[in-house]
Amino acid sequence: MMRKQAEVLEEAIQVVPSERQMAWQDLEFTSFIHFGMNTFTGSEWGTGNENPELFQPKSLDCRQWVKVCKAAGMRGMILTAKHHDGFCLWPSAFTSHSVASSSWRGGQGDVVREAAAACREFGLKFGIYLSPWDRYELTYGQGEAYNTFYKNQLRELLTNYGELFCVWFDGACGEGKNGRKQEYDWQGYYDLIRELQPNAVISVCGPDVRWCGNEAGVCRASEWSVVPSYYSQLEQERMKAAGGQLPREINFTQMDLGSRKAIRGAEQLIWYPAEVDVSIRKGWFYHEEEDHTVKPLMKLLDYYYHSVGANASLLLNVPPNPEGLISRRDIEALLSLGAQLQIDFRENLAEDSTVTDSCRLDDLHSGQMTLDPNPDCYWHSGPFGKAAELILDLGDDYDINKIVLKEHIRTGQQIEKFAIYGEVEVKGKPQWKLLGKGTVLGHKRICRFTELRLQRIKVVVEQTRGFATLSAIEAY
């Protein structure tokens, strides 16, 4: 039975992120490291028949990877511990298809260990990608046998490499119609992760982080974090098991996942925020002939603003070369990105403002609270009337071209429509000029506009689900 709109909305107001999702949201920008057998064979999807001897990263230096990623502004790193070809970057006890079977470092090498240690040394979070699809493993397609094998590998990674912030489950499988068919024990995988790494988010084919639906480096203009539960892997499997086909409208790539219209018929809603994964070059793995495809600074900035600036996270893939190093062009691009982001967000010009509000829940939640650096100090509108307004007086006038707004997502995602104005003089008279408007704010919305000299800024919340909150207003 379809639930009533009011009932669904009432639920939407109450959906909040878990602590592990909160921690993940704060990372905002992380790196994906595609490295493995494909790096040496020039392919994107290996067959599983590759000779382990081919794996020879002579100058492997995970510290270099991490230093470059950190300089680019990234706060975490996810390594492909095993890609679809089944070759393991750590000496797994459950397969011979791993670094231990290569003469590299006399069979004593362990890339996962070095990457994890480098992340720890430089203060980045570390996560792993373990491809469910395995083209080498003989038990793949044999149900329970493969699930046991996969959980054994998972357990090694979850116990031997310190704290993980993320386990990234890729849904890709190229077996085709007549290929091997493996039923994954998703629930069993999740249980193991929750038991051994309770703080880690489970991404993509997992319950915590949603794939944004493309690999183009941009999320939706309205990227909701509260969506129907049928977008999660388990729920989809349950639905398939119960009645065969999924409804046609359930599609990760469709444009509206979370508006009032999109959630109208939903049985249940979940907090399921989006991640944008995109590569710095053409392929996910390094290929020398693609060196010229390293994206220029402007493109990388676009990725950043269209993900981190639009209520999604950015997972930027940076594939090391066969030497085991990030290449010169990628380094240059990443360093210029890091430098530009530092310039873009050098000083919050709204920091010392005086904020007046048109409404508030109580004095602990006044508009002034949006300037408190504590993320749990925030403005709360109280029962929402027609619209709510906050006016910031910066105390002086400054050249400004960006405004950052953050909802207090610990109390959910509520705002459905907002607008930002700056006070300018027209023919000697002050006037509010529209600087930006939109729908979703969520964890973070960065509005960019042509630079203006401003002293007063007005934020208007025009529509919400129940009430409105803002935990930060920043100007740059």
Contact set with ligand FUL (CB under 6 A) = 44, 170, 172, 277, 284
Contact 257, 293 (CB under 8 A): no
**Burial of 218 from C-beta contacts in 10 A (0-12 / 13-18 / 19+):** middle
Minimum CB distance to ligand FUL smaller for 35 or for 230: 35
As measured in angstroms, the least distance from the Cβ of 49 to ligand FUL is 17
As measured in angstroms, the least distance from the Cβ of 144 to ligand FUL is 25
Minimum CB distance to ligand FUL smaller for 2 or for 172: 172
> What b/e sequence results for 41-65 when a residue is b if at least 16 CB atoms lie within 10 Å of its CB, and e otherwise?
beeeebebebebeebbbeebbbebb
Q: Which residues, at least 6 apart from 178, have a Cβ–Cβ distance to it below 8 Å?
A: none
Instruction: For residue 27, give the nearest of 95, 126, 167, 158 by alpha carbon.
Output: 126
| DSSP 8-state secondary structure symbol assigned to residue 195 | H
Instruction: For residue 206, give the nearest of 194, 220, 218 by alpha carbon.
Output: 194
Q: How many CB atoms lie within 10 A of CB 255?
A: 11
Half-sphere exposure of 435 (CA within 13 A, CB side): 28
Minimum CB distance to ligand FUL smaller for 186 or for 418: 186
Contact 121, 113 (CB under 8 A): no
As measured in angstroms, the least distance from the Cβ of 202 to ligand FUL is 15
Minimum CB distance to ligand FUL smaller for 139 or for 214: 214
Token representation of residue 287: 């290929």
Distance CA 224, CA 244 (A): 28
CA-based radius of gyration for the chain: 24
Minimum CB distance to ligand FUL smaller for 170 or for 357: 170
As measured in angstroms, the least distance from the Cβ of 172 to ligand FUL is 3
Minimum CB distance to ligand FUL smaller for 295 or for 402: 295
As measured in angstroms, the least distance from the Cβ of 36 to ligand FUL is 10
Q: Phi and psi dihedrals of 323, rounded to 5?
A: -70, -20
Minimum CB distance to ligand FUL smaller for 232 or for 414: 232
Minimum CB distance to ligand FUL smaller for 289 or for 362: 289
Minimum CB distance to ligand FUL smaller for 154 or for 173: 173
Minimum CB distance to ligand FUL smaller for 173 or for 447: 173
Minimum CB distance to ligand FUL smaller for 28 or for 170: 170
Which residue is closest to ligand FUL by CB? Answer: 172
HEC states along 299-334? HHHHHHHCCCCECEEEEEECCCCCCCCCCHHHHHHH
Q: CA separation (Å) from 361 to 353, 364, 379, 382?
A: 21, 8, 8, 4
As measured in angstroms, the least distance from the Cβ of 44 to ligand FUL is 6
As measured in angstroms, the least distance from the Cβ of 213 to ligand FUL is 12
Contact 259, 278 (CB under 8 A): no
As measured in angstroms, the least distance from the Cβ of 476 to ligand FUL is 32
As measured in angstroms, the least distance from the Cβ of 205 to ligand FUL is 10
Distance CA 70, CA 125 (A): 11
Question: What number of H helices and E strands is found in the chain?
Answer: 11, 18
As measured in angstroms, the least distance from the Cβ of 170 to ligand FUL is 5
Token representation of residue 312: 């999604």
As measured in angstroms, the least distance from the Cβ of 276 to ligand FUL is 11
As measured in angstroms, the least distance from the Cβ of 400 to ligand FUL is 37
Q: What's at 475, amino acid-wise?
A: A
Instruction: For residue 330, give the nearest of 340, 344, 320 by alpha carbon.
Output: 320
Minimum CB distance to ligand FUL smaller for 133 or for 272: 133
